Chain A
Amino acid sequence: MGQTLVYGVLNGALYGIIALGIALVFGVMRYLNLAQGSLIILGAYGILFLFHLGVDPFASMPLIAFLLFLLGGALFWASFSRLIALSEAGRIKNSLLISFGLMLLIDNLATLLWTGDERSITPAYSGLTFGIAGLRFPLIGCVGVLSALVIIVALHLFLARTYFGKSIMAVSQDHEAASLMGVNVNLTCLVSFAISVGLASIPSALIGLKSFSPTVGIQWFNKGVIVVMLSGIGNINGVFPAGLFLGIMEAISVYFFGAPYREVTGLVVFVLVMVLFPKGLFKRQEL
């Protein structure tokens, strides 16, 4: 049981990081980016490619983050930017549709480029574990938790302390009022979208070190969206605890129902919450 919980926490941190990117665009623009999972997998292929050239996955992460950032900016510029003028419901629906198309596009391009085979990145340290108090801790999972913490604190400081971060907060609360303050709303949205796609690079590395194939992106998106919903839409600070919660719930369910139903747990929680609190948990909260 203790060991199961350890894995739950480690997975939960990963879910938290995935959710971060989704929460950011949803909080600022009410865009639901269904393609976030596919972008993560795309990043994983990038890291794998560099790994074959001899680059350590964690060393290539910054470069992949930058490339994904640029890709995110380009995607926003070419498509998502056209939705800004719509109503909130219109933005959710249309962003969902566009990102749905994008997801299929990326997944199938990835299949064409790299086949549908399962891949994984395997540096020498990938299987390492260490023991504390009789429990085993996989090294990579712990790096995941650490990077989740670092990135969440960094993002929080960025949003709270810099002028640009403040303008993101302002746009998320009232974009028209923000524009009256002199905030360039389009640019702010573009950069937040690019940041959220750039943030995909961290789960890219972590998932890449496990295993991935072109079509698993949607499953990771689902983890992220469940976490976003649990933490309350737009509440960036709640994402990490909500991720841990989901991870631990899954671990407990594996303990009782067996591994095959792990994926179902989160989805059932998700549907239940949506049905029981159709407005409640999706209500506007912080950010």
Chain B
Amino acid sequence: MMRRRAWITFCLAALCFGFLPALIRSEYFLNLFLMFFLYVTVAQSWNLLGGFTGQISLGHSAFFGTGALITRLIWTAGVPIVPALIAGSLSSVVLALLVGVPCLRMRSAYFPIGTLALAMIAQITVANLFPLPGSLSRGYLTGYSMLSRYYLALLVAMLTVAVVYWIVRSRTGLALVGIRDDEAAAEAMGVRTFKHKVFALMVSSWLVGLGGGIFAYHQVSYYYSAPFELSWSFLPTLTTFIGGLGTIAGPILGAACFLGLSEIFAISLGEVHLVVFAFTFILVVLFVPGGLMSISTKIRSLTARIARRATRV
């Protein structure tokens, strides 16, 4: 039942977004939706680790950036984008294995600052190694098609949502949630917690690496360190918490709100949307641990109750 509804929603969304470019030609809107797909990818992959497994990472910018960097280097060297994207995302997994896994060995309360330190190391190192911005050469620019970027980003976002949904509904997902809710208890029940955390980290870094690849494919010119900026770590944390930690719809909702708000305020003032989001984030952590999703469920149950009472009368 639940599964079928999810299927229908998923297919409907694919159809709508798939035919959208036929209706809307505006480059601006295609860009906006591409950013939406990118944010969903980053937030949902973060959600697998942070929301479902309870390991809050502030280091996803390192995996995002690595995906972007390697994809870009391979792609601009002449390899087609899809193999480049795969290689880039796999290099994110390698980085996660090399440096992220040791962080999982720390007490989970310290995981956020450990990963934050990693992200900072990655950013500084890349900024030092590649001090100049990377621009696409003439040959790439003439062949630049917004539509192919749009569809690839859509594909990656749908893949991310599907993978996370599928994992969360599997036995592995149960174990992950068990680790989040009570690691010691999960361990006692025979869940091999460390192995599961590594698995979540690997999948999460793979998906966010794909997102980084999309960034590299989409941007014409940027500093190589730009996708390593800490904001790529902060963004999924903010949006997922606000949307609803540990739900599939939460990060999507959060990403939409974030993008909407930043577009509204972009016209007038620069950073207002971040101020609003940071403040909302604090309120959510303090008072609404379930984020917007829990508010919507609350409202739904409230209206249901009112409706029931109304019919009774």
**Which of A97, A111, A219 is B285 in contact with, Cβ under 8 Å?**
A97
Q: Cβ of B117 and Cβ of A109 under 8 Å apart?
A: no
Let me know if A218 and B56 touch, CB within 8 A. no
CA distance A36 to B221 in the complex (A): 35
Q: Is A271 an interface residue (CB 8 A)?
A: yes
Min CB distance, A29 to chain B, in Å?
Answer: 13
Q: Which segment of B28-36, B198-206, B272-280 sits at the interface? A: B272-280
| A213 contacts partner chain B, Cβ-Cβ < 8 Å | no
Q: Find out whether the CB atom of A279 lies under 8 angstroms from the CB atom of B128.
A: no
A92–B275 CB distance below 8 A: no
The distance from the CB of B246 to the nearest CB of chain A, in whole angstroms, is 14
Q: Does B238 contact A (CB under 8 A)?
A: yes
A135 at the interface (CB under 8 A from B): no
For window 74-112 of B, CB contacts with A under 8 Å fall at: 99, 102-103, 105-110, 112
- The residue on A at minimum CB distance from B112 is A96
User: Chain B interface secondary structure, helix, strand, loop or mixed?
Assistant: helix
Residues of A within 8 A of B147 (CB): none
In the bound complex, how far is the Cα of B125 from the Cα of A271, in angstroms? Answer: 15
Q: Within 8 Å CB of A34, what residues of B?
A: 113
The A interface, classified by DSSP as helix, strand, loop or mixed, is helix
Contact B124 A112 (CB under 8 A): no
The interface on chain A, measured as residues whose beta carbon lies within 8 A of the other chain's beta carbons, has a size of 39
Contact call A82/B286, Cβ cutoff below 8 A: yes
Query: In the complex the two chains form, what is the Cα distance from A268 to B56 in whole Å?
Result: 20
Q: Which residue of A92, A108, A225, A261 is within 8 Å of B109 (Cβ)? A: A92
Residue among A108, A218, A279 with the highest chain B CB neighbour number at 10 A: A108
Query: Is A100 an interface residue when CB atoms closer than 8 A count as contact?
Result: yes
Give the CA-CA distance A275 to B237 in the complex, in Å: 24
Contacts of B108 in A (CB 8 A): 89, 93
CA distance A105 to B103 in the complex (A): 27
Q: List 17 A-B contacts (CB under 8 A).
A: A34-B113, A79-B282, A88-B109, A93-B109, A96-B109, A96-B112, A97-B56, A97-B281, A100-B281, A101-B281, A101-B285, A102-B278, A104-B277, A104-B281, A225-B113, A271-B99, A278-B107
